[in-house]
Amino acid sequence: MSVALRVSDLKASVATEDILRGVDLEVPFGEIHAIMGPNGSGKSTLSHVLTGHSAYEVEGSAQLGDEEILSLEIDERSRLGLLHGFQYPTEVPGIRLGAFLKEAAEERGIDADEVERRIEESVDRFGMRPFLDRSLNTDLSGGEKKRSEIFQMVVLAPKVAILDEIDSGLDIDAVRQVAEAVEAMRRPDVAVLMITHYARILRYLSPDRIHVMLEGRVVESGGPELAEELETGGYDAVRERLGIETVKKDQPDIPAASEFFTETPFDR
Ligand code: ADP
Ligand code: MG
């Protein structure tokens, strides 16, 4: 199976603060991988750095297929097939979901008939028909926004989809629906990297691999047994087993500052 995303010794810092401290990761085509880690471990930073957010000093390598992407602009990465689903999808009043999808697809060189076909093929599976003529993400519940993001990804057919905190802030029914939507993205020519803080979503979907991120590194990768350990013992169990000391942060379990950077002026 060929590798869709290969990240090697990826480092990222802001001013003097090192956030990613050498991330190694491989996601083959056809697989769904999960990155799990406590708040502040660098998960969103990883997705921002891969997408091309300009806030960070970056070192190391990230390849999409055979292409090195770290020196590319955001839109170039996107055209190569990288899509990033945001932790807080932006509300865009006045732009309808269906129209937005057609525009985005045209930008990627997908012709109009093909977009129609893909929308028709997936719209009911993701329960998105009522939303096609509504403004993008506007007044949607958290779960609906995530489903909408995943539906958009399926229509735009990325090579690598990165979904940040796909289950945060959702009630358990919405988590299950989002999990099913992620599972429905599974295709031989797509790789999915889903980022999550909580193990509970893994009750409803089975990633091929789970990577645990602590303090800016992937410290362990494994199968479903890792999800079980996390659900019962939390990140402390992994730390203890690997002999990694807890770094005491002055901030408790609250969202990291960078999680708000995806908000835009469109949000109310
Ligand atoms: P996670 O998504 O795992 O909760 P983040 O990647 O959001 O973690 O953040 C990791 C750490 O890096 C946090 O301490 C956060 O405050 C810091 N950080 C991330 N982005 C920035 C930034 N642009 N400026 C300053 N600090 C940042
Ligand atoms: Mg985050």
If you measure from the C-alpha of residue 16 to the centroid of ligand 1, how many angstroms do you get, rounded to a whole number?
13
CA 229 from centre of chain: 22
Q: Which value, in Å, is the radius of gyration of the alpha carbons in the chain?
A: 18
Measure the CA dihedral 230/236/237/240, to 10°. 150
Rounded to whole angstroms, how far apart are CA atoms 216 and 197?
14
Nearest CA to ligand 1 atom 25: 14
Length of the chain, please?
268
3-class SS of residue 262: coil
Give the environment of ion ligand 2: residues with CB less than 5 A: 43-44, 259
- Ligand number with the minimum distance to the CA of 42: 1
Output the ligand 1 site: residues, CB below 6 A. Answer: 14, 17, 19, 37, 39-45, 55, 256-259
> Which atom of ligand 1 has the smallest separation from the CA of 47?
6
Task: Classify domain 3-90+159-260 by CATH number.
Answer: 3.40.50.300
Which amino acid belongs to residue 129? R
Question: 165 vs 268, which has greater pLDDT?
Answer: 165
Q: What is the pLDDT of residue 212?
A: 96
pLDDT digits (tens, 9 = 90+) for 136-149: 999 988 888 888 98
Give me 107's structure tokens.
């930008």
Judged against a pLDDT cut of 60, whether residue 116 lies above it is answered with yes
pLDDT digits (tens, 9 = 90+) for 147-195: 898 899 889 989 999 999 888 878 888 888 889 888 988 999 999 999 9
CA 92 vs CA 88, 89, 108, 135: distances in Å:
12, 9, 20, 6
Q: Where are the beta strands (DSSP E) in the chain?
A: 3-14, 17-28, 32-36, 57-64, 67-68, 82-85, 92-96, 135-136, 160-163, 191-196, 209-214, 217-222
How many other β-carbons are positioned within 10 Å of the β-carbon of residue 7? 22
The residue among 115, 93, 94, 113 whose CA lies nearest residue 104 is: 115
The residue among 66, 19, 15, 28 whose CA lies nearest residue 47 is: 19
pLDDT digits (tens, 9 = 90+) for 26-65: 999 999 999 999 999 999 999 999 999 999 999 999 999 9
Categorize the per-residue pLDDT at 252 as very low, low, confident or very high, splitting at 50, 70 and 90.
low
- Ligand number with the minimum distance to the CA of 46: 1
- Ligand number with the minimum distance to the CA of 164: 2
Average pLDDT score over residue span 239-257 = 69
| Residue keyed to tokens 């012709």 | 111
> Which atom of ligand 1 has the smallest separation from the CA of 87?
2
Nearest CA to ligand 1 atom 27: 258
